[in-house]
Amino acid sequence: MDYSIRLEVFERIVFELKEQQEKLDKAYEAGIDHINFTGPYESVISMLIGSIYGREGRDTFDWWCYEKNFGERTDLKMTDKDGNELCRTIEELHQYLEENKVNDYYLSKYKIMTDEERKHLLDELMSDYEQP
C-alpha cells in the first residue's frame, strides 16, 4: 500500500516540531537541557517519516527541519542536477517528498543500547588503544 501525508497534516507536523524546538532552544539558553527527554520523540517522528518517504526522504525532512531551521536558513540550499533550488518552502518540501518517495526504509537491526552498555562498549574499544 502506498501511503501519503496530506499537505495540511504535514504542515501541522512541521509547525508542532518547530514550536517544540523553539521552546527547547529557550530552555537550553536558560541552562536547561532536555535532549535526553526529547531525542526519543524526534527519533519516532524520523522513523514515521522514513517509513512513508524512505531513507533519503527522512534525511531530507530532518535536514530541512533541523539543519535548515525549518526552511529559515537561506544559506543552505538543496538543488537538483540542473542547479534548481528545491524545498525552499514547506509546500515544496512536501511536494518533493511525495514525488520522490521510495520504500527502502528499515529499522536498524542493531539493538538500542543503554548508556551503561554504550560506556562498556567504548571502554572495551579504548582498551585496544592503551599502551602497555
- The residue type of 44 is V
Q: Which of 91, 102, 60, 99 is nearest to 77 (CA)?
A: 60
Within a domain: residue 14?
yes
Domain count, the chain: 1
Within a domain: residue 41?
yes
Q: Which domain holds residue 96?
A: 7-103
Q: How many CA atoms lie within 13 A of 119 on its CB side?
A: 3
Within a domain: residue 132?
no
Within a domain: residue 87?
yes
- The pLDDT score that the predictor gives to residue 44 is 85
Percent of the chain with pLDDT over 70: 89
User: Which neighbouring-strand residues pair with 86?
Assistant: 78
Cell 519516532 locates to 44
Within a domain: residue 112?
no
Q: How confident is the model at residue 75 (pLDDT cuts 50, 70, 90)?
A: very high
Within a domain: residue 109?
no
Whether pLDDT at 8 is above 90 = yes
Within a domain: residue 2?
no
Q: What is the pTM of this model?
A: 0.74
CA-CA distance, 121 to 123, in Å (whole number)? Answer: 5
Within a domain: residue 120?
no
Q: How confident is the model at residue 81 (pLDDT cuts 50, 70, 90)?
A: very high
More confident: 41 or 76: 76
